[in-house]
Amino acid sequence: MLNRHCRPGFTLVELLVVVAIIAVLIGLLMPAVQAARESARRTSCQNNLRQLTLASNSHLEQHGTFPSAGWCWQNGPDPNAGYGDMQSGSWIYNLLSFIEGQTLRDQGVGLTGTARNAAVLKVVESPVATITCPSRRVPSTHAFTHPGCFVGLARPRVIAPTDYAGCAGSVNKGVHGICASAACGSRSADGTAASKLSNEQREEAWRRSGGYPHRTPGLNDATAVNGVIAILGRIRPAHVKDGLSNTFLAGERVLWPAQYSGSYCENDQGWTVGFDWDTIRWTTDPPKEDRRIPPDLDPGCQGYFGGAHPSTFGMAFADGSVRTVSYAVDQSVFRGLGSRNGSEVVDPTAQ
């Protein structure tokens, strides 16, 4: 017989209570879930940096030098110019062969004229997963809005950003790149002559090198690039007087959060450009977390290392190691680790 006093279901009030309890539990769990996701993204980001470090060591073994930082803003890559001082493209471009990017690095090899320029333009517009930190975005592109152009190429429609920068040293007095300029789209039939450095420009690059072969022995300019990732790609382990384990190679670079997918002076030419805010950084100033860049500096070009993660970010050393660094790192230690030959007394573990 049916028990008339049994209720087959919940009342509306009871259902609302259950829903409220579930909502509270979800609210309690979400921070833990988000923290776990960020931890995974941070690990992936550091693995990318580790891949770049291993690639740099492979470049060192094959070519005898750390990867060249290229020439200057507006100077993109040249697939026929090798890996040394005549390579105008970025240090990342020089590492493509060692991060499973050989196909991209070979775009335009052996080609001339229009065919070569069209192939290089595709490289400029191509995103690369290894240089993308998942805490910021997936591999992507954004509109190219820079008023200039890339020497010898048609104007790109888009550029692909990088979340990592080579360490150009401890002295930031602006971008010290050596530029070769030409009208947009113009380039000789061999694809290189319009952008070759003049003797004066090469002399200037050597003069600013301040520590590797140049034509004026003993000259040490105050604006010298004293990092491992430098113009013309002539830095060898012997030039790292401070020791490979005491010298930064590269690291995560800070970006203005509002412009992750936009263009401003530190994010307007992409990962292929030579010695420029987009691809290099200095340790002159303390590192910053993206969301903590002082509002009065947004979106100015400051050249900071840093990242999108809370508390710490990743830096790679010239010996191949990758370590986490606190945003609260002692500034004298951080600055000293940026130069290759400053004779600073630093403890890289005291971070």
How confident is the model over 76-116, as pLDDT tens digits?
898 998 998 778 899 999 999 999 999 999 999 998 888 88
pLDDT of 169 above 60: yes
What's the pLDDT at 280? 93
What's the pLDDT at 173? 63
- For the chain, state the CA radius of gyration: 24
What's the pLDDT at 35? 64
Quick count: other Cβ atoms within 10 Å of Cβ 114?
13
Span 136-162, average pLDDT: 88
Kindly state whether residue 282 falls inside one of the protein's structural domains: yes
Nearest Cα to Cα of residue 93 among 111, 69, 109: 69
What's the pLDDT at 293? 72
Please give the residue range of the domain that contains residue 265: 33-338
Tens digit of each residue's pLDDT (9 = 90 or more) over 258-300: 888 888 888 999 999 998 889 999 999 999 998 877 666 666 6
Kindly state whether residue 291 falls inside one of the protein's structural domains: yes
Q: For residue 253, what are the β-bridge partners?
A: 305
Nearest Cα to Cα of residue 90 among 109, 69, 62: 69
- pLDDT confidence tier of residue 167, bands split at 50, 70 and 90: very high
What's the pLDDT at 21? 81
What's the pLDDT at 216? 37
Mean pLDDT over the full length of the chain: 81
What's the pLDDT at 303? 86
Contact 275, 293 (CB under 8 A): no
Kindly state whether residue 306 falls inside one of the protein's structural domains: yes
pLDDT of 161 above 70: yes
Nearest Cα to Cα of residue 343 among 233, 226, 249: 226
Residue type, 44: S
Kindly state whether residue 19 falls inside one of the protein's structural domains: no
Contact 164, 271 (CB under 8 A): no
21-25, 130-134, 221-225, 275-279: range with lowest mean pLDDT: 221-225
pLDDT of 330 above 50: yes
Kindly state whether residue 253 falls inside one of the protein's structural domains: yes
pLDDT of 347 above 90: no
Q: Is the dihedral of CA 172, 178, 184, 185 positive or negative?
A: negative
- pLDDT confidence tier of residue 12, bands split at 50, 70 and 90: confident
> Is beta strand 288-289 parallel, antiparallel or unpaired with respect to 306-307?
parallel
Structural domains in the chain (count)? 1
What's the pLDDT at 119? 93
Kindly state whether residue 3 falls inside one of the protein's structural domains: no
The H-or-E segment that residue 337 falls in is: helix 331-338
Identify the residue with better confidence: 131 or 37: 131
Transcribe 73-122 into DSSP letters: TT----TTS-SSTT--S-HHHHHGGGTT-HHHHTTTTT--HHHHHHHHHH
What's the pLDDT at 345? 65
What's the pLDDT at 193? 39
- Rounded Cα–Cα distance for residues 50 and 38 (Å): 18
What's the pLDDT at 332? 93
Kindly state whether residue 7 falls inside one of the protein's structural domains: no
Contacts of 273 (CB under 8 A, 6+ apart): 70, 73, 74, 75, 76, 89, 90, 150, 279
Span 336-348, average pLDDT: 80
Kindly state whether residue 346 falls inside one of the protein's structural domains: no
Nearest Cα to Cα of residue 233 among 338, 97, 83: 83
Tens digit of each residue's pLDDT (9 = 90 or more) over 40-73: 888 999 999 999 999 999 999 999 999 999 888 8
Nearest Cα to Cα of residue 74 among 89, 63, 57, 59: 89
Nearest Cα to Cα of residue 244 among 303, 305, 316: 316
Cis-peptide into 299, omega within 30 deg: yes
17-26, 169-178, 329-338: range with lowest mean pLDDT: 169-178
What's the pLDDT at 220? 43
> Is beta strand 164-167 parallel, antiparallel or unpaired with respect to 280-281?
parallel
- Rounded Cα–Cα distance for residues 238 and 8 (Å): 82
Contact 87, 180 (CB under 8 A): no
pLDDT of 189 above 60: no
Contacts of 107 (CB under 8 A, 6+ apart): 79, 119, 120, 122, 123
Span 157-176, average pLDDT: 87
